[in-house]
Amino acid sequence: MTDAPQILLHHHLKKLRLPTFQGEYAKQAQICAAENKDHIQYLARLCEMELIDRERRMIERRIKAAKFPSTKSLDSFDFKIMPSLNKPLTMDLARCDYVDRRENIIALGPSGTGKTHIALGLGLAACQRGLKVRFTTAAALVHDLIEAQDELRLQRMQKQLTSQNLLIIDELGFVPLSKSGAELLFEVISQCYERGSIIITSNLPFDEWTEVFGSERLTGALLDRLTHHVHILEMNGESYRLKHSRKNRQ
C-alpha cells in the first residue's frame, strides 16, 4: 500500500506541475542508487528530464496551434530535385534569426515545385524554437477575415494574427481576390509589418500580383511592405511532386 509520504509527494508534484518528476522519481532513485550517484546528481537528472519533456510538450502545443495541414521538415525536402532553390540560404533561414529581425520570406515558383513544403519546414523549425506560428492559405485567410468582419469580430481576429511571431500565407495567386478581400489581406499584412515575420508562397511573379489584388496601388503598397526586409526563394523548374514521384518509382 502506498504510504502517506508518497501520497503527499504525488500531491505536491501534481500541484507544481512536474509530471516527469512524478513519473520518474522512483525509477531514477533506483538507477542512481545502483550507479552510486548522490542526491544532487539524482535531482539534477530529474530536473533535466523534466525540462526536456516540458520542451517537447511546448513544441507539440506550438505545432498544434500553428494549424499546419501536415508536418514536414526541411530534412525531408530533396534539394537536388530543385536546383534553383538556394539551399544554404534556406537552411540558414531555419535558424529563425530572420524572425528576430522581423524579416519576411517570399517563395516564388510554378505549382508543384515544393513551396508549401519549404514553408511548412520553416514553420516547423520556428515552432521548435518556441515561436508562435500560424499557417493558412491566402484564400482561407481572406474567407475567415470576411466572415469575421460580418460577425463583428474582425478586430479580435486581426489581433490574433498580429500576435504571431510568424504568419505563413500559402498559395497567394491561386484565386483572384474580391476588392474587400484584397483590402482585408492588405490590412493584415500592414499590421504585421515590422511586428513579426511573414512567409508567402506564390505561383505568380511579382509583376502579376496585380491580377490577384485587382489594384496597382494596393499591390504596390503591399509589395513595398513585404519586400522592405525580404528573402526571396526562387523555385523554378519542373514540378517537384512529379519529379519526386518519378524518382520513387525508379
Q: Is residue 97 within 8 Å of residue 125, measured between CB atoms? A: no
Closest CA to 77 of 202, 197, 247: 247
Count of alpha carbons within 13 Å of 219, Cβ hemisphere only?
A: 17
Closest CA to 246 of 11, 78, 66, 89: 78
DSSP states of the chain: ---HHHHHHHHHHHHTT-HHHHHHHHHHHHHHHHTT--HHHHHHHHHHHHHHHHHHHHHHHHHHHHT-SS---GGGS-GGG-TTS-HHHHHHHTT-HHHHTT-EEEEE-STTSSHHHHHHHHHHHHHHTT--EEEEEHHHHHHHHHHHHHTT-HHHHHHHHHT-SEEEEEEETSSPPPHHHHHHHHHHHHHHBTTBEEEEEESS-GGGTHHHHS-HHHHHHHHHHHTTTEEEEE--SS-HHHHHHHHHH-
Q: Is residue 73 within 8 Å of residue 121, measured between CB atoms? A: yes
Instruction: Check residue 234 and give its pLDDT.
Output: 93
Q: Is residue 147 within 8 Å of residue 80, measured between CB atoms? A: no
Distance, in Å, from the CA atom of 166 to the CA atom of 9, rounded to the nearest integer, reads: 41
Instruction: Check residue 167 and give its pLDDT.
Output: 98
Instruction: Check residue 148 and give its pLDDT.
Output: 96
Distance, in Å, from the CA atom of 214 to the CA atom of 39, rounded to the nearest integer, reads: 69
Distance, in Å, from the CA atom of 223 to the CA atom of 230, rounded to the nearest integer, reads: 10
| Euclidean distance between the first and the last CA atom of the chain, given in angstroms as a whole number | 62
Tell me the per-residue pLDDT of 136-168, one tens digit each, with 9 for 90 and over.
999 999 999 999 999 999 999 999 999 999 999
For the chain, domains (ranges, CATH) are 3-61 (no CATH), 67-248 (3.40.50.300)
**Intervals of the chain under pLDDT 70:** 1-2, 237-250
Amino acid at 34: A
Instruction: Check residue 1 and give its pLDDT.
Output: 40
Q: Is residue 167 within 8 Å of residue 140, measured between CB atoms? A: no
